[in-house]
Each structure stands twice: as C-alpha cells, then as structure tokens.
Chains A and B, each alone.
Chain A
C-alpha cells in the first residue's frame, strides 16, 4: 500500500523573483518516470515541503499544457515559506499532489473569459490563463484584470507584458491608490472599482475571480450588477490545509472539504455555504 504522505522529490531548476517576498520556482521531478506519469489540471494544488521545516499549500501555477516544469509562486509568510526561500537552484524539495478539483475549462469553450485577480492570487489564474491561451481558438474574447497594492507587488511582470502585447488578450492592470509610480501606464484604483469601470460584458461569458477574501467579497456584487449569473463566476478558496486528502479535518466549510471538493467553486456554491472561510 502506498504511503499517501510521501512526497515526490523535485529539483529546483530555476527561480524568479516576482515581487518583494514573492518567488517562483520551476521544478523538475528527480525521478524522470514519476515526471512522465504525472498529470494535473488547472485549479489543482499541491503540498510543497522544505525538508526539516514542513509542508505548505500552493496552487500549481503552471499550465498543464506546458509540462516541461511544474511551477509554483509563493509569498514568504511563515515558517515553511521562509525555509523554501532559503533554497537555491539545484536544491531538492518535496511535492505532494495534485490535489483538489479543477476549473472546468471544457465547459467554457466558445465563451468569453474574464479573469480577475488581486495581489498574490494571480498564480492559480495563471495556470488556467495559459491553459486557455494555449488553446486560444476554443474561446472567444479573453479579458484579464489584475491589480496589486503597488507596481512593485505585481507578479509575473514579464508575462503581463507578453499578454499586453497580444491582440487576442485584453489586459487591464491596476494598482491601489498611492501604489503607482510616475511612469505607471496602468490604472490606479482597487480591483472591484476597476472591474466596474471596465464593464466586461456578461453576455456568453465566464468570470474567474481570485484574490484576498476582501477583494472577492467586493468583486462578486459588481459582477452581479454586470449581469454575471452566480453559476458563471468561479473562484478558489484557501482554507488552511494539512493533509490535502480529506482526512486531517481542518479545511471544511460546513459539509464541504475544500481540499477535496474545492478549491475551485462557483459563486453559486459559495453563497450556499456557511460563512466559514
């Protein structure tokens, strides 16, 4: 019987400083066979471990259409994330996953997609954004609205440029008032306000929202005003997790185990849940 708590060993192939305290790792399986067998879908997460310090949860930030490396982007927040930050290219870390449910991309085919992200919450959306862009002809308009506290806090700066340059992507970036620099070409304002101004059409559209709870709480009513039905709005939840396998009893919201039945939920599902997230 397999040990469900045993992680794969991964090698850090590359790392990128995204913003102050935020780093992306590009990871390869140490065991090539494990790497070849590994599959996941956008929306899923994993438990990453710094040996000697423990495990913590991040989404898989890379797209399943690009399997040359598994990527994660994390913010230095506490014990394990601090230890991960001490690691360098060539070092080994643990990776347990993929866990959780997925964004139902197949159901979105032929629709307009509106991605809305705040701060460090772009990573889960980046997986699905690249997944959709790599299958670009299956979707209609693609709009990405992304905001961070300040210009320095924007993650994936190089990719934002790439998306901005594409004719088939409508990218709107914003920073909170006071977070702008003199040469900032994007908008200034909080994400919900910017969404309201941008007025993405809800016609034949899906909205995918990811961000701190406060941002989500204020963005959902705006989307409703714009005519997005609750079942057309997707988001991911981040309850504290330990096992990722529906056993440690930590991540539930009412009857729902976020690690098994989430982290991806529609606004309709979230509205039916008790307020425990």
Chain B
C-alpha cells in the first residue's frame, strides 16, 4: 500500500497514535544530541539529522532490565515475573540501518531458545522508518549490503519527495494494519511520479573480501597496530544497534531484589576475565579483533547475517577516533594484495 503524508501532518499522526494508546517514540533534541525518545506530539520531532545518537536497540533490549524479582523470608524464596515490559508502541523516524538491525538481532535472541523480553517487545512495537536524504562520512551502509532507503526491518517506510511531502510505503502486514488503522491521517499518493530524495552513500569496501581475509588472519599484526589508541571504554558497543552482549546481576536488599540484565561489551577488559585472573583476551588488540571477527565472520557463519549495519555510530562516538570502516577498508585492501587469498 502507498500513501502520502506532509510533514505538517506528522503531529496529527503522532496525536492519533497516542489517542489509540500507542506509546510514541521519535527523534528529538536533547541539548546537543538527537535522541530517539518518547514524544508527546509531532512538534517535538526533529528530522534535521543524519542519525540519532542512541540506537533503536534500547527499546527492545534496554540498558538495564529486570528479568525477574524475588522476595526472601528466611528460606522461603518467591520468584515473581516482570510484567508489562512490552508496551504497544510506534517508533517513528528511525533510520533504515537501525531498523535493519532488528531482524539481524532476532536471530541471536531466538536461536535454540527465545528470550521473551526481546521477542514480546518486537511483537509490541511497530517500526516506521524515514529513508535518509543525507549522510555523513561515517555512514557506510552500502558497504554492508544496505541502502539509505532499505526496507528490511521496517514495517512502514517514509521517503521524502517534493516539498515536505513523504511517500508512505507499507512493508509488512503489521505496517499495513497500522496505516489502515490511521487511514484518515494520510492522503493518496501523487499521480505523477516524483523524485525521491535519497542520500547517496559511497561504497567503501567489498564485504566479501573482508570475510575471506578474516577467515585466514586470526593472527595478524593489524589487530595490535590498529587498536593501539583504543582505551577500552566500550562506548562503541553501547551505541551500536547490533551489539547485544550482556551481564546478569542481582540488585537487592536483605528481603527482596531484582535480577537484571545489563548491557556489557567485549571491549571491556573484565568481560572475559576468569575468577582465577586468567584472561583469554588479555590485550586490547585481542578484544578489538573479537569485535571485528564477531561482526563480520562469527555471526555471518552462525546466523548468516553481518552483525553491522554501517550506521557509523561507533566511529562517531569513539574518544580515540577509532574508525571501523577505515579498519574494514584496510582489511579489504590487504585482501586484495597479491599473495593474499581472496
């Protein structure tokens, strides 16, 4: 189904959604940042950005979330299940790269057994994406097989056309029924074809070359060389829409407590440290290698998806100016050198 919506009617759309009990999340200004966060009306929405500072993942896999609660009285322990963690919501104005991270992460949260916290939120949330009409030097979605107007993971895709009009395409049945539910808000598409304003993102490297190089080069000086300036702060993993590592800890008083799942990251030194003090990944080079290998080799082999959507957030946020696409370009170039297997 195709429809049209003018920017001035975004407020109407958000208000209608809220009227029907949807929680609405959209990009908005927060001091100098643009963040995906709850909005009360369309007026709060900010679209003058390439990408939000935070990624979409926290609405499905929060920074910290309760997986159970318990009460203790002497030897009597009672476990209580968290309730109402999956709230009917619409995320409006996420970017195609962020949306695409969701089907990628579905795989790890569902293989073998399903993590209900992820799965039930996925069911409860509808994703309305706006295609990118601009990009910056950190963006590299086209190098990992995506595009500024890619539809994967979105339920509805908005693409800017003339003026402040957007063409509205439904991608999934969930998106279709959302648009039907709010049909009155939308206009019919323009009869004459109009140009879609979609950013051009330069392709920086051949992803197949990266994979074949990784297959052969677990041991290579590039890992240490490239990671020397990395301070192991983990910021890259926290902003990443596809990083999903977590810790499980108890937070409690004497008589009651919560067991919570917290974001964690492979760039932290303690991440793999055994209690004995032995650490299988004891240097930052090894930890950086794990991040690259996990995204472009291990996940690909296990789940048939690249664990990176080319959003560039990790590079934008890095205090040490580590740039993942630069690393991947180096690898792809290495792979093209004579004598190296492709």
Asked whether B11 is an interface residue with its Cβ less than 8 Å from the other chain, the reply is no
Kindly list chain B residues whose C-beta atoms are within 8 Å of the C-beta of A51: 70, 72, 77, 250, 252, 257
Kindly list chain A residues whose C-beta atoms are within 8 Å of the C-beta of B246: 242-243, 247-249
Kindly list chain A residues whose C-beta atoms are within 8 Å of the C-beta of B108: 246-247, 249
Kindly list chain B residues whose C-beta atoms are within 8 Å of the C-beta of A94: 77
Contact A240 B244 (CB under 8 A): no
Asked whether A218 is an interface residue with its Cβ less than 8 Å from the other chain, the reply is no
**Interface 9-residue window, one of A163-171, A177-185, A196-204, A252-260:** A252-260
Rounded to whole Å, the gap between the CB of A181 and the closest CB of chain B is 26
Among A101-115, those with CB < 8 Å from B are none
Contact B286 A276 (CB under 8 A): yes
Asked whether B6 is an interface residue with its Cβ less than 8 Å from the other chain, the reply is no
> When chains A and B are docked, how far (Å) is the Cα of A5 from the Cα of B82?
12
Q: Which of A3, A77, A274 contacts B275 (CB 8 A)?
A: A77
Per-residue 0/1 for B273-284: is the Cβ within 8 Å of any A Cβ (1 yes, 0 no)? Answer: 111101011000
Asked whether B115 is an interface residue with its Cβ less than 8 Å from the other chain, the reply is yes
Contact A1 B116 (CB under 8 A): yes
> When chains A and B are docked, how far (Å) is the Cα of A276 from the Cα of B293?
13
Q: Which of B79, B259, B272, B290 contacts A240 (CB 8 A)?
A: B272
**Interface 9-residue window, one of A52-60, A148-156, A262-270:** A52-60
Rounded to whole Å, the gap between the CB of B110 and the closest CB of chain A is 10
Q: Which of B81, B116, B252, B294 contacts A4 (CB 8 A)?
A: B116
Contact B79 A6 (CB under 8 A): yes
Asked whether A19 is an interface residue with its Cβ less than 8 Å from the other chain, the reply is no
**Interface 9-residue window, one of B30-38, B94-102, B295-303:** B295-303
Asked whether A2 is an interface residue with its Cβ less than 8 Å from the other chain, the reply is yes
Rounded to whole Å, the gap between the CB of A16 and the closest CB of chain B is 20
Contact B252 A52 (CB under 8 A): yes
Q: Which of A2, A49, A242, A243 contacts B116 (CB 8 A)?
A: A2
B300 closest partner in A (C-beta): A255
Among B182-199, those with CB < 8 Å from A are none
Kindly list chain A residues whose C-beta atoms are within 8 Å of the C-beta of B114: 1, 4
A213 closest partner in B (C-beta): B278
Asked whether A92 is an interface residue with its Cβ less than 8 Å from the other chain, the reply is yes
Rounded to whole Å, the gap between the CB of B242 and the closest CB of chain A is 11
Kindly list chain B residues whose C-beta atoms are within 8 Å of the C-beta of A6: 67-68, 79, 81
B237 closest partner in A (C-beta): A249
Name A's interface SS: loop
Rounded to whole Å, the gap between the CB of A218 and the closest CB of chain B is 16
Among B249-275, those with CB < 8 Å from A are 249-250, 252, 254, 257, 259, 261, 264, 266, 271-275
Q: Which of A2, A246, A250 contacts B112 (CB 8 A)?
A: A246
Per-residue 0/1 for B123-152: is the Cβ within 8 Å of any A Cβ (1 yes, 0 no)? Answer: 000000000000000000000000000000
Residue of A91, A238, A276, A277 contacting most chain B CB atoms (<10 Å): A276
Kindly list chain A residues whose C-beta atoms are within 8 Å of the C-beta of B323: none
> When chains A and B are docked, how far (Å) is the Cα of A239 from the Cα of B278?
10
B109 closest partner in A (C-beta): A247
Kindly list chain A residues whose C-beta atoms are within 8 Å of the C-beta of B298: 252, 254-255
How many A residues face the partner with a CB closer than 8 A?
43
Asked whether B233 is an interface residue with its Cβ less than 8 Å from the other chain, the reply is no
Rounded to whole Å, the gap between the CB of A117 and the closest CB of chain B is 17
Contact A246 B264 (CB under 8 A): no
Kindly list chain B residues whose C-beta atoms are within 8 Å of the C-beta of A238: 274
Contact B119 A276 (CB under 8 A): no
Asked whether A22 is an interface residue with its Cβ less than 8 Å from the other chain, the reply is no
Contacts A91-B75, A246-B112: A53 and B68 contacting too (C-beta < 8 A)? no
Kindly list chain B residues whose C-beta atoms are within 8 Å of the C-beta of A245: 112-113, 115
Rounded to whole Å, the gap between the CB of A261 and the closest CB of chain B is 10
Contact A247 B115 (CB under 8 A): yes
Contacts A3-B68, A245-B113, A250-B245: A240 and B286 contacting too (C-beta < 8 A)? no
Contact B293 A254 (CB under 8 A): yes
Among A122-153, those with CB < 8 Å from B are none
Contact A54 B249 (CB under 8 A): yes
> When chains A and B are docked, how far (Å) is the Cα of A250 from the Cα of B111?
16
Asked whether A9 is an interface residue with its Cβ less than 8 Å from the other chain, the reply is yes
Asked whether B120 is an interface residue with its Cβ less than 8 Å from the other chain, the reply is yes
> When chains A and B are docked, how far (Å) is the Cα of A213 from the Cα of B245?
25
Contacts A51-B70, A77-B275: A249 and B294 contacting too (C-beta < 8 A)? yes
> When chains A and B are docked, how far (Å) is the Cα of A250 from the Cα of B266?
7
Q: Which of A49, A52, A250, A253 contacts B264 (CB 8 A)?
A: A250
Contacts A3-B68, A254-B298: A249 and B266 contacting too (C-beta < 8 A)? yes
Residue of A6, A81, A94, A248 contacting most chain B CB atoms (<10 Å): A248
Asked whether A221 is an interface residue with its Cβ less than 8 Å from the other chain, the reply is no
Contact B245 A248 (CB under 8 A): yes
Asked whether B216 is an interface residue with its Cβ less than 8 Å from the other chain, the reply is no
| Known A4-B114, A77-B276, A276-B286; further 7 A-B contacts with Cβ < 8 A | A5-B261, A54-B249, A78-B275, A240-B272, A242-B247, A249-B266, A255-B301
| Minimum-distance CB pairs A-B, first 5 | A249-B245, A5-B67, A1-B116, A52-B252, A77-B275
Q: Please, could you name 28 A-B residue pairs with CB atoms under 8 Å apart, sorted by A?
A: A1-B116, A1-B120, A2-B116, A3-B67, A5-B261, A49-B250, A49-B259, A51-B77, A51-B252, A51-B257, A52-B72, A52-B257, A53-B250, A55-B250, A55-B259, A81-B275, A94-B77, A212-B276, A240-B273, A245-B113, A245-B115, A248-B245, A249-B246, A250-B271, A254-B218, A255-B297, A274-B218, A276-B290
